[in-house]
Amino acid sequence: MNLPNALTLLRIFFVPLLIAALVQAPWGIAVRGTYVTNEFFALGIFLAAAATDLLDGYLARRWKQTTTVGTLLDPIADKLLVSAALISLVQVNIVPAWITILIIGREFAISGLRSIAAAEGYVIKASELGKTKLVTQVVAVSMLLLSIHWPQLRPLAMLWLWGVVFFAILSAMMYFRKFWGKVDEQVKARRRHELLEMERQDLRQARSDKSEIPGTVTRLD
Of 42, 16, 47, 45, nearest to 27 (Cα)? 42
Of 134, 115, 114, 137, nearest to 57 (Cα)? 134
What confidence score (pLDDT) does residue 69 get?
72
C-alpha angle with apex 84: 81 to 97, nearest 5 degrees? Answer: 135
DSSP conformation class of 183 = I
Return the domain boundaries, the chain: 1-93, 100-210
- Phi and psi torsions of 35, nearest 5°: -90, 115
What confidence score (pLDDT) does residue 123 get?
64
pLDDT in tens, the chain (221 residues): 688 888 889 999 999 999 988 887 666 666 666 667 788 888 999 999 988 888 887 787 788 877 777 777 888 888 899 999 999 999 989 999 999 999 999 888 888 887 777 776 666 666 667 678 888 999 999 999 999 889 999 999 999 999 999 998 998 888 888 777 666 677 677 777 778 888 888 788 777 766 665 555 444 44
Q: For the stretch 22-56, what's the b/e string if a residue is b when 16 or more beta carbons lie within 10 angstroms of its beta carbon?
A: beeeeeeeeeeeeeeebbbbbbebbeebbebbebb
**In angstroms, rounded to a whole number, what is the distance separating the alpha carbons of residues 14 and 154?**
25
**In angstroms, rounded to a whole number, what is the distance separating the alpha carbons of residues 162 and 174?**
19
What confidence score (pLDDT) does residue 166 get?
93
